Structure 1
């Protein structure tokens, strides 16, 4: 799948998949929202507004209030790529989110996921 297809996917179409993935592993949607808030600076209400507006990943990250300064601490492999080595900044942000959702689903403690 090329980057443009990923960038134009709607956040609202992927969000339920994130919820399903983490709930299957005993985590909550509230924890998912906490992770997204940490990464992007969106409030819970802001996330819901973006879902209702049916925005693309591109718009979701362009309109993010403030990307967390500790994103450089997110390391590891997602979809066969090391997140810290992804050159396209938008794709890197999307993969950061994917990585955090994976960590949540794998049962990591919130303090570790939120790099605190």
Structure 2
């Protein structure tokens, strides 16, 4: 896995793809943002600053106010990797977000996605 490539991906370029993916499955931007806020601690304003600043994923996660204490409960396979076994913290957090977006697009209930 090429971590540098993943680190350098712009969050602002992937966010519209996340949105497109969930909206195609009948979910909303508000639900997508709720998932992102839960994982990262960002809010509407700080998330928009990350998008406007064209920050890469590494910066996005390094600057995240607080990764949720239940993020470790996110398990399963994404892009061929078991998220709980990924050793690189930033890559693991990126894959956590990918997994949450997948669950949202698959129609899982919010309380399940947010590990409540």
TM-score tier after normalising by the smaller chain length: over 0.9
Q: What is the alpha-carbon distance in structure 2 between the residues aligned to residue 44 and residue 32 of structure 1?
A: 11
Under a length normalisation based on structure 2, what TM-score does the superposition of the two structures give? 0.98
Q: What is the alpha-carbon distance in structure 2 between the residues aligned to residue 91 and residue 26 of structure 1?
A: 28
Which residue number corresponds to residue 8 of structure 1? 8
Structure 1 portions without partners, runs of 5+: none
Q: What is the alpha-carbon distance in structure 1 between the residues aligned to residue 36 and residue 44 of structure 2?
A: 9
Q: What is the alpha-carbon distance in structure 2 between the residues aligned to residue 99 and residue 56 of structure 1?
A: 19
Structure 2 portions without partners, runs of 5+: none
Number of matched pairs: 116
The list of structure 1 runs, each at least 4 consecutive aligned residues, that deviate by more than 2 angstroms after superposition, is none
Which residue number corresponds to residue 54 of structure 1? 54
Q: What secondary structure, in the 3-state scheme, does the structure 1 residue paired with 2:70 have?
A: helix
Under a length normalisation based on structure 1, what TM-score does the superposition of the two structures give? 0.98
Q: What is the alpha-carbon distance in structure 1 between the residues aligned to residue 72 and residue 48 of structure 2?
A: 26
CA RMSD in angstroms, aligned pairs only = 0.7
